[in-house]
Structure 1
Amino acid sequence: MTTLVGFPDRPVRVSARLDAPLSRWLWLVKWILAIPHYVVLFFLWIAFTVVCVIAFFAILFTERYPRALFDFNLGVLRWSWRVAYYSYGALGTDTYPPFSLGAEPDYPARLDVAYPERLSRGLVLVKWWLLAIPHYIVIGFFLGGAHLGWWYGGLILVLTIIAAVIMAFTEEYPKDLYDLVLGLNRWVLRVAAYTSLMTDQYPPFRLDMGGSEPNTPEDQP
């Protein structure tokens, strides 16, 4: 049985704050500005994969995800989410992402995953390749042919570019569109945490839209 430290009812928490005003035209060059992050993330995701393999065997034999490995992989997910939020995963901020594996609570995009004290040995054998298949099908439409920061194709990219064009003429990010983009990203990050063995709680087939988690107070200042 899984025992969680933190927020057991919602082990994966994704939140974001939409900055305003946003530049009308900076989005056109963010793909260039983010290149240093893409280079670093390329190597971090190689390490992430290796850590997942090590964690697999650790959970299988001890029912525990070594805390140092958990914190590293959470850091990679956080870094990727910040870069995606800055660039074409949301275009929700013009604040350049920090080169950091830490929580960075002042950055507009945040991700937290509750550390599990115990994980199921049985689930670790099937969750990432069998149980997650329905989610893979769904998020495949969200992501397209994505990798690393994973927001480089599919529905998320299309909606983000539409929002950028609208902002170029109106100086406003349409709220409904922003909420939808955040909901899609939240779904992807929940699946990412589950398939990287960081939680046993199966991701819901639910589009929880908006910058804050559902049914919780807005945690942004």
Structure 2
Amino acid sequence: MPEYPVKYDVPYPEKSNPWLVLARLFFGWLYIGIPHGIYMGLYGIAAFFVIIYAGLVILFTGNYHRKAFDYLVRYQRYVNRVQAYWLCMVDKYPPFSGWE
């Protein structure tokens, strides 16, 4: 079976900070949910319009517009980082971008 073109790699944490996990359980909505929720919502609205634009470009030209593709990759990367932190898979607070 050929390998899927998207790879999601999260290293297994040998040791997690228990206090950080406790803080996320009780206060995660405050310091993750509110700032990243607002940012992700605005970023997501823009991504929605980029998806429509990219779909129309693909429909009429048969090619994916490179800047639209890069924008959506950054958006997906950002969402995955926030989710990995929220789900206690990583201890590093996610940045407000999708850049590596």
Query: Per the shorter chain, which TM-score range?
Result: 0.7 to 0.9
From 40, 57, 62, the equivalent of 1:139 is: 40
TM-superposed CA distance for 1:122, in Å, is 1.2
Cα separation, 2, equivalents of 1:181 and 1:105: 24
Q: Secondary structure at the match of 2:7?
A: strand
Q: Percent identity, aligned pairs only?
A: 38
Aligned residue number for residue 49 of structure 2 = 158
Aligned residue number for residue 189 of structure 1 = 80
| Greater share of helix | 2
Cα separation, 1, equivalents of 2:2 and 2:9: 10
Q: Secondary structure at the match of 1:156?
A: helix
1:206 aligns with 2:94: no
CA RMSD of aligned residues (A): 1.8
5+ residue gaps, structure 1: 1-103, 144-153, 209-213, 215-221
Question: 1:101-153: per-residue Cα shift (whole Å, max 9, x none)?
Answer: xxx9711122111110111111112233232131121112234xxxxxxxxxx
1:175 aligns with 2:76: no
TM-superposed CA distance for 1:177, in Å, is 0.9
| Greater share of strand | 1
| Cα 1:106/1:166, change in 2 over 3 Å | same
From 16, 29, 37, the equivalent of 1:129 is: 29
Aligned residue number for residue 72 of structure 1 = none
Aligned residue number for residue 8 of structure 2 = 111
After TM superposition, list the pairs within 5 Å mapping 1:1-221 onto structure 2: 106-127=3-24, 128-132=28-32, 133-143=34-44, 154-208=45-99, 214=100
Cα separation, 1, equivalents of 2:95 and 2:2: 26
TM-superposed CA distance for 1:200, in Å, is 0.6
Give me the TM-score of the superposition, normalised by structure 1: 0.40
Aligned residue number for residue 19 of structure 1 = none
